[in-house]
Amino acid sequence: MIKVIIIEDEKNAIKTLQSYINKYTSEISILGIANNMKEGIELIKTSKFDLAILDINLGDGTGFNVLEAIEDKDFGIIFTTAYDEYAIKAFKYSAIDYLLKPINPKEFVEAIERYKTNITNISNKQLKIARTINNNKIVINSTNEMHFLELDEILYLKSDKNYTDIYIKNQQRITSTKTLKFYEQLLSENRFLRIHQKYLVNLNYIRKYLKEDGGYVLLTDNSKLEVSRRKKEDLMDALLK
Amino acid sequence: MNIKLIYSLFLTYFVFCSAISQDLTHAKNFSIENGISSSNVYSIYQDHIGYMWFGTDVGVSRFNGYEFENFAHKKPPFNSPVTKIWEEKHTISFTNMNNNFYSIINGEIIETSSKKNDTTLNKNHFDVSKNEKLKKNFENIEITSTFLDNKKGMWVTTLDDGIYYIPDHKFIETRPSNNKIYGLGVFNDNITYGYKTSTSLKIIDKPKFSEAEIHFHKNKLYYKKELIYTFNGNYINSSKKSKSRFIKQNKEFIYFIGDTNEIYKIDPIKKSQLVIKDHSLLNISSLGFNSNDELLIGNNNGIYNYTQKKHILLDPLNKNNNYKIISINSNLRNELIVATKSSGIFLKDKNNLFSKINNEKINSSYINALDLDKDDNIWIATNNGVYKINKNNSNIDLHFNNQNGLLSNQVNDIIFLNGKIYTAHNKGLSIININDYNSNGDSTNVTIPYIRYDNEKINNPSNEITIDSKYSYLTINYLAINYKLKGEVNYKYKINGIHNDWIFTKERKVQFTTLPEKGTYIFEVKAQNEHSIWGKTTKLKMRFLTPFYKSWWFIALIIFFSLISLWLITRAVYKRKLKMNRLLTEKLDFEAKALQSQMNPHFIFNALNSIQSFITVGDIMNSEIYLAKFSSLLRKTLNYSNHNTIILSKEVENLKIYLELETLRFEDRLNYEIIIDELVESDLIKIPPMLIQPFIENSIIHGLTPKPEGGKIKIHFYLKGENYLVCEIIDDGVGRQNKINSAHKSLGTSIVKKRLSLLSIEVPDYLKYTDLKDELGEPKGTKVKLTIPIK
C-alpha cells in the first residue's frame, strides 16, 4: 500500500484528487491532507509516507518552499498546478510528474504508475541523492531506471521520436522517456545547445566545426553531428562566448 | 666742446670751397653684370612710380634699385637702339632709330600705330661737359644721354660702358684724403684736422706752426707740444708733457688740459698754471664739468668728481660701472651728457641721476666721439656712421653712412661748427650741411607691385584686397625705390590685428603661409630713406573671406537643411511608426481575432455540450478527460496568443489536442493524421501561432460534419525551399461546392488570410484551395495549402 499525502489549498481540487485516487487507482491510501504551506511542512515532518501530491500555489507559500524546508526528501513527488511555468523547476526536484489542473485522469493514473515503477527500482536513498541535485546534475528517467548524471558526463542528446538517447562519455547510451524538447528546456541554462532537430549537444565537447555539407560538429569522441542551417548562427555565438 | 686728437696727429686747417656738386665718390656703374641686357644704352626715362627705364640696342630695361627687368621684342629683328622712352597715361612707350613705336602692355612689347612722339626736350637732361668733375671722369666714355631723377640723382648712359648713377648727397660734401684723419678742431672759425704720418708732424695752417702737435679750443687756446699758447700769441706755459689731449674750459674760463695722468689748470687771464697731479688720475680719457663747475674726469673706469673726490655712478644698477668715458659734455641746460666707448650714452636727468639713452642702435655701437649742435641735439661718431639723436625724445633722427654720402662708415671724430657737422674718416673729411636737410621732403615710400595668392599673381593690387578662403598662402611683394641705398633698403611691416610690433627686414616680400580665417587686417609697410628716416606708411587692407563652410549663410543653410532633414526624417519615422503601429495594431487585432476564431463560440459551446453529454450519460471519466484537454487547449491558446511565433512542434501539439477534442465529439467519425516531413525541424522552426487551426476546423465543419459517415483529416507539413513551411490540410469531405454554411467559413479563414498576408507579402499564393475530385469527377474533398514564412 502506497501512503500518499496531499498538500493543496483548494477544497475542490482535494476532492478531485480523492475522487481520482478512489476511482482510478488501487493500493493507495491517503495518509493526510494539508491546506497550506505551514501545515504541509508540518505534515511532511510528522508523518511517514511514500508520495506527496504537492500543489505549487499554496496561498502562504509554494510547494517549492515546502520542499526547501524539508531535509530528507526521501519520498516521491507529484506536482499539481494550474500554471505550467513551473515545470522546469519542478523537474529539478525530480518530480515524478507535473500535472496541470484540471487534471486529466489519464495523466494522473500514469503518474501514479510511474511512481510505482520507480519505487521498485530506486531506493529512498537514491531519491534522497536525486533530490540534492544541483545545477550540474541531472536525473534521467529511462523506462525502468533512474540515472543520476553529472552534466559533464553527457556528450550529446539525440531525439528518437518521443524518446531521447543520451550519449555519455564512456560510450554508454541511456534512453530517456522524455522528449529532446524537454531536455532542451531543462538544460537551457547550461552549456547545451540544440544544434539540430535531432541533437542537443554539450558545447564543452565540440572539437571542431566542419563546414562541409552544410555544417557539422565533431565531438571529442569523434561523433559527427549535423548542424541545422537555422542554428549555425546560434552555435557560433555560443562557441565564441 | 670737446676736441680730442691723438697726440701724434698732423693737424691741418682747411677752408672748404663752397658749392661742391656731385663727385664720383658714390657713383655706381651698371653693366651686363648687373643684369641689364646690353651695355649699349641710349635713352633714360623715370616713370611716375620711380622706376628707371633704359633704352638699349636690344630693347628696354627697367630698374627698381635692386635689379633690372629686361623687355625684349619677341619679333626679331629688333636690333635698333631705343632712342627715346616716355610715358603716356602710365603706359611706357618708346621709339627706336628705325622710327618704330612701341608700348609695353602687360609686360609685352607691342608695336603701336600711334606715331605720337613726345618731341619735347627732356627737362631732366643735364650737361656733363659743364661739370668739371664729371667731365674729367667721363673723358674717354661715349655718353649717349643723361637724366636727373626725382631725387637729383644723375644718370648717365654710355656706349659699351652701361649706366652710371651719381647720387645727389647735396647736403654732404666729401673731402677725400690720402691721410687718415683722426681728430678735428676749430681754429679761427675754421675746421682743422689732424692726421698722422709715419715720419714727421706737419701742420698746414695760418699760424705757421710747423711740426707741432697742437690742440685748439674755440680759437682761444691751443696746445702745442710742450707749450700752451693762446692764439693772441701769448705764451702761457711750456710743459715737458707730450700726451695732453683734452682741453676744457669751465665757467670761469679756466682751461683744463688733460694728459694721461695729469691735468694742467690754466687761467689765461691771470696767466697762472697749475699742475694737478693725483694718484687717482689714471688713463684720463675725457674732461668735463658739472653744473657746479666741478671738474669731472673720465677715464677707463668711469667718472670721477675731482672736486668732491668721489666716484660718480653712471648706472646704479650696474655694479662695476667700469665704462670707458669718451666724452663729458654739458648742454645749454647744464645737463651732463656722458658718452662711453661701448656702453652707450648717459644723460643726467632732472633728478640729477644718470639715465641711459635707451636705443639699441646706440648701445650696440662703438662710440668714437660726441658733439652737440646748437640746438643741443647729440651727434655721435661711431664705427657705423653718424647718428643724430633728438634732444627731446632720444630717438635717432638721422643716420649718415657711406650709403648716403659719408666717405665711410668709420667715423673717428665729429664736430659741429656753424650749422655743419664735420666728420673725420680714414679716407678724409665729410661735411654735413644739416641746415639744408629737409627731413620731410625726401622720404622713401613703398609700393606694392604685386601680390600672390598661392601661385596666382595680381599686379598692382588696389589698396584693399579680398582674399578668398580657398587660398592657402599670400605673398605680398613690396618695393621702395631709392637708388641711393643701392638695394639696401630697410623695411618694416606689421599687420594690424596680428603683429604688435614692427617686423624689420631687408626682404622685399612677406609670405603668410597661414591665413587668418576671417576678418579684415591692414598690412602696413614702411621703408627707411638713406638717412634712416622712415617714410610714409603704405597700407594694404586685406579682407579675408570666411571659408564658405564657416560663413553665416552657409551655416544658416546647413542648419536649415539639417532642420528640414530632421523634420523629414522625424516625419518619415513617425509615419513609419504610425504605419508600424497600425500594422501592429492590425496584427494584434488579427491575433485577437485569431484567438476569437479559434475559440469561437461555436467550438466552445460544442465542447461544453460534449462534456455535458458525457456527464448526462454518466461517462464521468470521459467528461473529466475532455474537460482537462479542453482546459489545456484553452491554456495553450491563451499563452501562445501573446507570442509572435511558436515552435512548430508545440503548435502541432496544440493541433493534436484540438483534434482529440473534436475526435471525442465526433466519436468514431473523425480520424486525423499529422505528418511532418523528416526534413522539417519541428523543434527549431517557428511559425505564427494559431494559424492552422481555423482551417482544420473549417475542414471539419464544412467538409466532414455534413458527411454522415464522417471522414479523415490529413495534415501534412513540408518545406518549400528553405524559408517556407507548407501546411496542407486535406479532408475527404463533401467539398467546397457542397458547402452549406459559407458565412462561418469566411470569418475564421479570412482573418488568417489577412494575418498571412501581413506576414508574407512576398508570397503571392500563401493560401490555395484545391477541390479534390474522384475518378468520376465528383467532389472528393478539399485541399488547403498554406505557405508560411519561417525564420
Least confident of A143-152, B195-204, B493-502: B195-204
Tell me the C-alpha distance between B422 and B415, whole Å.
Answer: 5
Question: Mutate which of A104, A110, A186, A233 to test chain B, going by most B C-beta atoms within 10 A?
Answer: A104
The answer on pLDDT for B75 being more than 60 is yes
When pLDDT is cut at 50, 70 and 90, the band that residue B329 belongs to is confident
The answer on pLDDT for B213 being more than 50 is no
pLDDT tens digits for range B381-422: 998 899 988 888 878 888 888 877 888 889 988 888 888 888
Judging contacts by C-beta atoms under 8 Å, the chain B residues touching residue A186 are none
Tell me, yes or no, if A228 comes closer than 8 A to chain B by beta carbon.
yes
Is B598 in contact with B690 (CB distance < 8 Å)? Answer: yes
Tell me the C-alpha distance between B481 and B149, whole Å.
Answer: 12
Residue A163: helix, strand or coil by DSSP?
A: strand
The pLDDT score that the predictor gives to residue A41 is 92
When pLDDT is cut at 50, 70 and 90, the band that residue B9 belongs to is very low
For B513, phi then psi, to 5°, come to -90, -20
CATH class of the structural domain B174-183+218-313+328-433:
mainly beta
The answer on pLDDT for B563 being more than 50 is yes
The answer on pLDDT for B230 being more than 70 is no
- Among chain B residues, the shortest Cα distance to A23 is held by B621
Structural domains of chain A, with CATH: 2-131 (3.40.50.2300), 137-240 (2.40.50.1020)
CB contact under 8 A, A180 and B683: yes
Place of cell 523547476: A89
When pLDDT is cut at 50, 70 and 90, the band that residue B226 belongs to is very low
The pLDDT score that the predictor gives to residue B714 is 94
pLDDT cut 90: percent of chain B above it: 6
Of A16 and B170, more confident = A16
The pLDDT score that the predictor gives to residue B220 is 46
When pLDDT is cut at 50, 70 and 90, the band that residue A5 belongs to is very high
Cα B120 to its chain centre, rounded Å, is 49
Nearest to B34 by CA among B8, B10, B82, B67: B67
pLDDT tens digits for range B632-642: 888 877 777 66
- Among chain B residues, the shortest Cα distance to A105 is held by B625
Tell me, yes or no, if A178 comes closer than 8 A to chain B by beta carbon.
no
CB contact under 8 A, B681 and A103: no
Is B429 in contact with B422 (CB distance < 8 Å)? Answer: yes
| DSSP H or E segment with residue A45 | helix A37-46
Judging contacts by C-beta atoms under 8 Å, the chain B residues touching residue A107 are 628
- Domains of chain B, by residue range, sit at 28-166, 174-183+218-313+328-433, 446-544, 578-789
When pLDDT is cut at 50, 70 and 90, the band that residue B172 belongs to is confident
The answer on pLDDT for B233 being more than 60 is no
The pLDDT score that the predictor gives to residue A122 is 63
Judging contacts by C-beta atoms under 8 Å, the chain A residues touching residue B627 are 102
Tell me, yes or no, if A153 comes closer than 8 A to chain B by beta carbon.
no
The pLDDT score that the predictor gives to residue B205 is 36
Q: Report which listed range, B85-89, B121-125, B607-611, B762-766, is most confident.
A: B85-89
Of B478 and B611, more confident = B478
Tell me the C-alpha distance between A173 and A166, whole Å.
Answer: 5
Fold of B446-544: Immunoglobulin-like (2.60.40)
Nearest to B340 by CA among B353, B354, B352, B328: B328
User: Under 8 Å CB-to-CB from A159, ≥6 apart: which residues?
Assistant: A165, A179, A180, A197, A198, A199, A200, B683
Of the CA atoms within 13 Å of residue B35, those in its CB half-sphere come to: 11
The pLDDT score that the predictor gives to residue A231 is 87
Helix, strand and coil content of chain A, in percent to the nearest 5, comes to: 35, 30, 30
Q: Angle at which helices B620-640 and A11-24 pack, to 10 degrees?
A: 130
Of B433 and B584, more confident = B433
B-contacting residues of A 64-123, CB under 8 Å?
A: 84, 100-107
Of B131 and A219, more confident = A219
Least confident of B149-153, B263-267, B456-460, B646-650: B263-267
The answer on pLDDT for B346 being more than 70 is yes
pLDDT cut 90: percent of chain A above it: 21
Answer positive or negative: Cα dihedral of B585, B589, B590, B592.
positive
pLDDT tens digits for range A168-203: 988 788 888 888 988 888 888 788 999 998 999 999
- Mean of pLDDT values over B8-31: 53
Place of cell 678735428: B184
The answer on pLDDT for B81 being more than 80 is yes
Four-point Cα dihedral B345, B349, B353, B358, nearest 10: -40
The answer on pLDDT for A53 being more than 90 is yes
Cell of B177: 684724403
Cell of B42: 641710349
The pLDDT score that the predictor gives to residue B728 is 93
Report ipTM for this prediction.
0.75
Residue B4 CA: distances (Å) to CA of B186, B211, B244, B286, B327:
11, 18, 9, 8, 9
Least confident of B55-59, B72-76, B133-137, B656-660: B72-76
| Number of other residues whose CB lies within 10 A of the CB of residue B701 | 21
The answer on pLDDT for B45 being more than 70 is yes
Tell me the C-alpha distance between B140 and B39, whole Å.
Answer: 16
Tell me the C-alpha distance between B456 and B475, whole Å.
Answer: 10
Place of cell 503518474: A111
- Mean of pLDDT values over B535-564: 81
- Cβ-based contacts under 8 A for chains A and B: 49
The pLDDT score that the predictor gives to residue A217 is 92
The pLDDT score that the predictor gives to residue B602 is 63
The pLDDT score that the predictor gives to residue B439 is 55
The answer on pLDDT for B65 being more than 80 is yes
- Residues of B with a Cβ under 8 Å from any A Cβ are 620-621, 624-625, 627-629, 631-632, 635, 639, 647, 649, 680-685, 722, 791
Tell me, yes or no, if A181 comes closer than 8 A to chain B by beta carbon.
yes
When pLDDT is cut at 50, 70 and 90, the band that residue B219 belongs to is very low
- Mean of pLDDT values over B272-278: 73
The pLDDT score that the predictor gives to residue A40 is 92
When pLDDT is cut at 50, 70 and 90, the band that residue B174 belongs to is confident
Of B205 and B35, more confident = B35
Is A101 in contact with A82 (CB distance < 8 Å)? Answer: yes
Using CB atoms within 10 A of its CB, is residue B455 exposed (0-12), middle (13-18) or buried (19+)?
exposed
Judging contacts by C-beta atoms under 8 Å, the chain A residues touching residue B680 are 197
Equal CATH topology for B174-183+218-313+328-433 and B578-789: no
Architecture of domain B578-789: 2-Layer Sandwich (3.30)
The answer on pLDDT for B597 being more than 90 is no
- Among chain B residues, the shortest Cα distance to A161 is held by B678
The pLDDT score that the predictor gives to residue B74 is 66
Of the CA atoms within 13 Å of residue B487, those in its CB half-sphere come to: 8
Tell me the C-alpha distance between B772 and B787, whole Å.
Answer: 19
In the beta sheet, which residues pair with residue B217? B221
CB contact under 8 A, B681 and A100: no
Four-point Cα dihedral B715, B720, B722, B727, nearest 10: -20
Least confident of A107-121, B198-212, B239-253, B688-702: B198-212
In the beta sheet, which residues pair with residue A210? A216
CB contact under 8 A, B791 and A106: no
The pLDDT score that the predictor gives to residue B320 is 67
The answer on pLDDT for A166 being more than 70 is yes
CB contact under 8 A, B625 and A103: no
CB contact under 8 A, A197 and B791: no
Looking at every residue in chain A, the average pLDDT score rounds to 84
Of B365 and B261, more confident = B365
For B737, phi then psi, to 5°, come to -65, -30
Is B742 in contact with B748 (CB distance < 8 Å)? Answer: no
Place of cell 670721477: B304
Looking at every residue in chain B, the average pLDDT score rounds to 76
Least confident of A103-112, B10-19, B129-138, B764-773: B10-19
Residue B133: helix, strand or coil by DSSP?
A: helix
Cell of A161: 521520436
- Mean of pLDDT values over B262-285: 73
pLDDT tens digits for range B516-549: 777 888 899 999 887 778 888 899 888 887 766 6
The pLDDT score that the predictor gives to residue B675 is 93
The pLDDT score that the predictor gives to residue A6 is 93
